[in-house]
Amino acid sequence: MQKITPRTLPILLSLLLAACLGGDEGESETAAPNSSASAPTTTDSAQNPGGDATTPTSMNHSDTHNDNGYDYLNTLRTRAGMTSFHSNSLLQKAAANHAAYLTNNSATGHHESEGLAGFSGVSAAERAVAVGYPSRQVAENVSSSYGSEESSYHHSIDGLMSAIYHRLAFLSFDSDEVGLDLSGNGEATNYVYNMGNSAIASLCEESSFSGVGRYYTAICSDSTKRLEAGAYLSANETIATEQPDRVLWPAEGDRDVPPVFFEEDPDPLPAYSVSGYPISVQFNPAKVASAAVTRFELFDDSGVAISDTLLLSADNDPNQKLSPLEFVLFPLQRLQWAKTYRVELEYTVANLPASLTWSFTTRDPGTPLYTITTEGENISASAGDTFVVYMPPTHATDSNGSVNWSYSGYSSGDSVEVELIDKNTLRLEIIASDGKISVSFHDKVFTITL
């Protein structure tokens, strides 16, 4: 008998957020002034802490093996109507260091422990500063894949985009540069993404503010350096003003949307380990002072409303991660493969009503799809056939993706290649030419007769 047990999970780290999700290991963290978005300090005296960083911050460079990651991430941002990330070699080096640390120590997440192999800083901000990045205002996403599960930047980024706190880090209005890298050892592959704001990084390369008035500290690599409050706020908004008034995800006309969300830490849906892909709208704080959603609905391709949903906002987010300008509609059941859905949104901006309607289509597995709902179902197949088997979840925590299979027949060698697409879905390629393959998945057994 052969077996695959999934262990993937996405992780997000940012100085403003903290998150981690299951399905693809992932986590996110973000940094804010004084490490906790503290208020500016008023001063009548000048102090020069020195220690200005002099390393250039924005460099159009990426290693060849990372190009797919940069390209795919920017494809998604472009589809959302946002500007592309610039690649930054310092953020890339920090990402590479942390990815190697995770691999060498069989670890996950954002935290590093001093004394372990490859330690380069406890937090994402410390790791970025250690390689010469001028700013501590760094967001980090992390995801990991294990064993025979799919491992690619495409798969990693898709997993992180399915988790709402991670998605918002990738679609941040005030980040414009990124460094990413991966590290693997055959058992696990770790992906790390560090996002920064080039305007803030450039400001950190200037002299410390020495005048009278408000200033921020704990933003630059030299945490005592003072940034004049107006200059800091202006730099922080410089990137955001280049972005649209609002961002919708999935975007209008998307045709390759994953149908599922599994888990995230902290978990926006603590009672669910499997649900549908979340739909989000976020308003740009540089352009929108206040917004409210009055209706947010999802319809299937027959025009029937998906009634089992939850609207999450700053008012009811169990983890208090969403801002008052971020709204998320969670379908509480998985969406279907290769189906088109329509979204209807009614909202107000500055008390003025508006509405939007857009559509997206979930991913087509690309091969024949069999949906298994009862014990003992049979599939007839021949050597060389490739197909997908989907077992719809039967309850809110039905996400145990372990799969076992056995073969009885006369063919020698492997009988079937099994790939876990997600925790409810398998891709199988038949190798044997005769006999029977018995597959156990989600406490149901189905057979493949050759």
Round to whole Å and give the CA distance between 142 and 68. 16
In a 10 Å sphere around its CB, with 0-12 CB exposed, 13-18 middle and 19+ buried, how is residue 104 labelled? Answer: middle
In Å, how far are 38, 45, 78, 228, 323 from 328, measured between CA atoms? 27, 46, 20, 35, 11
Q: What are phi and psi of 46, to 5 degrees?
A: -115, 135
DSSP track, 119-186: ---SSHHHHHHHTT-SBS-EEEEEEEEETTS--SHHHHHHHHHHSHHHHHHHT-TT--EEEEEEEE-S
Distances (CA, A) of 36 to 32, 40, 83, 239: 5, 12, 27, 21
What pLDDT is stored for residue 336 in this prediction?
98
Chunked mean pLDDT (size 10), the chain, 450 residues? 53 37 43 38 28 26 67 97 98 98 95 97 98 97 80 92 97 97 92 97 97 96 97 93 97 97 92 98 97 98 97 98 98 98 97 97 97 96 97 93 91 89 94 95 95
What residues does 330 pair with on adjacent strands?
A: 310
For residue 42, the model assigns a pLDDT of: 28
Rg (CA), the chain: 24
pTM of the shown model: 0.86
Residue 15 and residue 32 in contact, taking contact as beta carbons nearer than 8 Å: yes
Strand order in the sheet with 213-216: 41-43, 213-216, 227-228
CA distances from 219 to 126, 345, 432 (A): 11, 37, 61
Q: What whole-number distance in Å separates Cα of residue 331 and Cα of residue 442?
A: 22
